[in-house]
Structure 1
Amino acid sequence: MKKFGLLLAGGIAACVLLANVGPLAGLAICLVILYFVFKQFMKSESTSGKIIWGLIGLAALSASLANVPSLIGLAAAYVLYLVYKKWNGTKKSTKNDEQDPFVNFEKQWAELKR
């Protein structure tokens, strides 16, 4: 039943992520442009250059704010990561296994053989 719940959560998260691929790409492009504009703004020494780069930066910032719903897509990608991590998780060792020196020896010996 646990695997079914993980499969259901992963399927829903995958659908949400696929629905938000466009806004995610738009957000990434806008943030790259905003970074480039910021670097040029800091390099510019003239006032008119700073004003022009500032206006371009405001336009890029407003375009990136328009893609805020893509944060839902980022959350869906994170949920997919958690589902993947939980799906392939290993069993935790019991308290007796940690105290038994021979179990730890076998684990270390297996690692050394690799």
Structure 2
Amino acid sequence: MKKFLLFVGGLAALLILLANLGPIVLLALSVWLLYIIFKKFIRSDSTLGKIGWVILGLIVFGIAFSNIYAIIGVAAAFALYYIYKSWKKDDHYPVVGVMKDDDPFTNFEREWAELNK
């Protein structure tokens, strides 16, 4: 049942990620452009140049802000990664319960299972 729920959750996360792939790319591109504009703003010596870079930065910031819901797609990508990690984790251990026995072989098997977790 756990594997089925992980599969359904992974499928939902994949669909959300694919639906938000375009906005994720546009958000990343606009953040990169904002970085470039900021660097150009710092290097500019003239007041008119700085005003131009600020106006261009505000336009690109508007584009970035309109794609802010792409964070949902990034969260879906993280969820997909954690589902993948949970899927690969093996929950089957050779010794399931802890036995209160003084048999050295039983204790060895229990300790070995604890080490392999």
Fold similarity call, TM over 0.5: yes
How big is the alpha-carbon RMSD for the aligned residues of Structure 1 and Structure 2? 2.3
The 5 Å alignment of 1:1-114 reads 1-90=1-90, 96-97=111-112
Give the alignment's TM-score, normalised by structure 2: 0.77
CA distance in 2, matches of 1:85, 1:18: 20
Higher Rg: 2
Q: Which runs of 5+ in 2 are unaligned?
A: 96-109
**Greater than 4 Å deviation, 4+ residue runs:** 90-95
Q: Percent of aligned pairs with the same residue?
A: 41
Shift of 1:32: 1.2
Q: Which amino acid aligns with 2:39?
A: K
Give the alignment's TM-score, normalised by structure 1: 0.79
CA distance in 2, matches of 1:89, 1:60: 43
Q: Deviations over 1:40-78 (max 9, x none)?
A: 011111111111101111111111000011111011001
More helix, by proportion: 1
Aligned residues: 101
